[in-house]
């Protein structure tokens, strides 16, 4: 009975942590894109002749910003599908 309770507690804690990782990652990306777009408009309004160059650099930074979120998604999915904490409890219980 204690074994099942420990696994349930580990699963609940893992899902809560993954939810926080995905939610805060998405919120951080949204804030980053908002700041990035605002600075692009500000820079283009200040020097319109550099608009094309600024747009290219904005897309580069936007790709890097998305990459950080995808790393968080990958880590979250690792903990959902291959939870090392649950495997440690199973190994300690002999199952």
Q: Which residues are catalytic?
A: 66
DSSP state of 82: S
For 60, how many CA atoms within 13 A lie in the half-sphere containing its CB? 6
Closest Cα partner for 40 from 29, 52, 25, 30? 52
| 3-class secondary structure, 83 | coil
> How many Cβ atoms are within 10 Å of 18's Cβ, its own excluded?
19
Note whether 1 and 66 are within 8 A (CB).
Answer: no
């Amino acid at each position: 009975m204690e074994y099942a309770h420990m696994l349930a507690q580990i699963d609940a804690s893992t899902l809560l942590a993954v939810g926080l990782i995905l939610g805060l990652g998405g919120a951080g990306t949204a804030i980053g894109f908002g700041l990035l777009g605002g600075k692009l408009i500000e820079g283009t309004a200040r020097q319109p002749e550099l608009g094309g160059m600024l747009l290219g650099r904005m897309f580069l930074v936007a790709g890097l910003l998305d990459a950080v979120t995808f790393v968080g998604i990958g880590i979250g999915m690792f903990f959902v599908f291959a939870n090392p904490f649950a495997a440690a409890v199973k190994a300690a219980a002999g199952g």
